[in-house]
Amino acid sequence: MGPAARGARGERMPTQSGKESTQPVGKRQAVGVTMEVLFASVPVTDLQAALGWYEALFGRSADIVPNKNEVMWRVAGSGWLYVIEDPARAGRTVVTVSVSDLDHFVADLASRGIGAGPIEAVGDAGRKANVVDADGNVISWIQVATGS
């Protein structure tokens, strides 16, 4: 058997069954290389049509507009969500963002005209609520259980 699955800080990671994995997790990250930034894409059919909804979702205009087909929001320290016009892939994305207070966040979304689905438990891991854009892309908002 290979080494147990390990998290970013070396902790043993449970599988979906809740048992610790004893299977190899694949090739290791390159030695001496640090992953620094995450860019998650959400492809839409028509960027200009989607822009108002995403501005309401984030409560502000895009942080960066690199070109006419793409806009970006910084959603966490080194985590970015970019919305890109790509009709062939539109509506097939699920992105999850963790927030510190899901109830407050969902209420804030509602005040901006964004209706979230019901808040649901995600096992013992926490709770989530989904929003869906006009193309069918799902943005999940989660609050991770703190164990206290």
Rounded distance, CA 56 to CA 65, Å? 16
134, 49 in Cβ contact below 8 A?
A: yes
Could you tell me which residues come within 8 angstroms of residue 94 by beta carbon, excluding any fewer than 6 positions away?
Answer: 137, 138, 140
Least confident of 64-68, 102-106, 143-147: 143-147
Give the tens place of pLDDT for each residue, 92-144.
Answer: 999 999 999 999 999 999 999 999 999 999 999 999 999 999 999 999 999 99
Task: Residue 84: name the closest of 42, 117, 113, 26 by CA.
Answer: 42
Helix/strand number for the chain, H first, E second? 2, 8
Region at 91 (left for phi over 0; alpha for psi -120 to 50; beta for the rest): left
143, 101 in Cβ contact below 8 A?
A: yes
Q: What is the pLDDT of residue 86?
A: 97
> In the CATH hierarchy, which fold is given to the domain comprising 38-144?
2,3-Dihydroxybiphenyl 1,2-Dioxygenase; domain 1 (3.10.180)
Give yes or no for residue 12 having a pLDDT over 90. Answer: no
Q: What is the pTM of this model?
A: 0.76
Confidence of residue 2 (pLDDT cuts 50, 70, 90): very low
Least confident of 17-21, 44-48, 125-129, 139-143: 17-21
